[in-house]
Amino acid sequence: MMVKIIRALVAILMMLSPSLPHQLSLPAIPKGQDLNLDSRFELVWSDEFDGTELDRTKWQYPWWETERKGGYWHEDMVDVKDGNLVITTAYMSEPLDNYYDEIWGDRIDFDEYKEGWYTGCITGINTVEHLYGYFECRAILPKSTGMWSAFWMMNDKVENVDGSGKDGTEVDIFESMYYKDVSWGAGDAVVSGIHYDGYGADHKGDSIGKWFANNPYEEYNTYGLEWNENEYIFYINGVETGRLSTGGVSQNPEYLLLSCEVAGENGVANADRHGTGKISMKPGDTAEFIVDYVRVYQYK
């Protein structure tokens, strides 16, 4: 009921001014242009996740990154079943095996797996990269506070500090930070934004704010990005939510990622990050990020 009330309030505020909900830190309702996918784009790459295991010609696991914020990334938390990619988040009282320890264990940044929250990520680095077009996934989001799922893009120039995002930009097509944020009505909302010039003191970024999806923790929604040489245009269910060109748009090919992360640091959870709240799951609970497909289109 609270979300319905907030949605009605947001609709009224948007009639007065489209920017009012964001000024009040409320999510907005997508009201921009329709995508018109078939008339403007042609499909050039996809993964429908129809098999029984991850297609390693399209994706790989980030084996070089074990500890991730308040938890761990591990390939055992990634599955392909029933026509979906499924990334599961769960607590492991015993560390999972590191399949790459004998090969890469002497790397100074290769953190040891420990007891804690485990989840997963798949990445197109070194397998599939694209420049410009429209990028979309169809997904159901994981049901837990203290964590989030994401569909995003990267390249190896994001760390360059040169005052520009043209050499490389992290583009967060969506992040699900607000599960059950019912007090402010943001529980059915996602956020989109960009990051460039690394992640240290020189980091820069921008966001289009929070946007409602349709019951996203129970139902499939599509999340898309149109990327051209002038701007990034974000969509939910084929309706525009916002545009960014801050710092200049990336002019280099980028790869896709699908991931879940647990809020916290040094592998220890129970922090509040960007509005996630503290983790609500207990050992024995699980949360699933379910992805029906990922598709890439180029302009006709």
Question: Percentage of the chain with pLDDT > 70?
Answer: 88
pLDDT in tens, the chain (300 residues): 556 666 665 656 556 556 665 655 678 889 999 999 999 999 999 999 999 999 999 999 999 899 999 999 999 999 999 999 999 999 999 999 999 887 766 765 678 899 999 999 999 999 999 999 999 999 999 999 999 999 999 999 999 999 999 999 999 999 999 998 755 557 889 999 999 999 999 999 999 999 999 999 999 999 999 999 999 999 999 999 999 999 999 999 999 999 999 999 999 998 888 888 899 899 999 999 999 999 999 999
What domains sit in the chain, N to C, each tagged with a CATH number?
Answer: 28-299 (2.60.120.200)
- pTM of the model as a whole: 0.93
Nearest to 132 by CA among 290, 275, 296: 296
CA 68/CA 109 separation, integer angstroms: 12
Residue 193 sits at the vertex; the CA angle it makes with 188 and 195, to the nearest 5 degrees, is 145
Phi-psi region of 185 (alpha: psi -120 to 50; beta: other; left: phi over 0): left
CA 233/CA 167 separation, integer angstroms: 19
CA 64/CA 99 separation, integer angstroms: 11
Structural element, H or E, at residue 21: helix 20-23
Tokens 């989030």 belong to 148
- The 3-state DSSP class for residue 43 equals strand
pLDDT at residue 285 in the model = 97
Residues 90-96: contacts with CB within 8 Å, 24+ apart?
Answer: 90/117, 90/118, 90/119, 90/281, 90/285, 90/286, 90/287, 91/116, 91/117, 91/118, 91/281, 91/282, 91/283, 91/284, 91/285, 92/116, 92/117, 92/118, 93/283, 96/72
CA 63/CA 41 separation, integer angstroms: 34
Number of other residues whose CB lies within 10 A of the CB of residue 201? 7
CA 231/CA 98 separation, integer angstroms: 40
For residues 204 and 247, the answer to whether their CB atoms sit within 8 Å is yes
Q: What are the Cα distances from residue 266, in Å, to 17, 70, 115, 119, 270?
A: 42, 6, 12, 15, 12
Q: Is 177 exposed, middle or buried (0-12, 13-18, 19+ CB in 10 A)?
A: buried
For residues 184 and 230, the answer to whether their CB atoms sit within 8 Å is no
CA 59/CA 44 separation, integer angstroms: 16
For residues 124 and 259, the answer to whether their CB atoms sit within 8 Å is no
Nearest to 261 by CA among 271, 253, 247, 250: 271
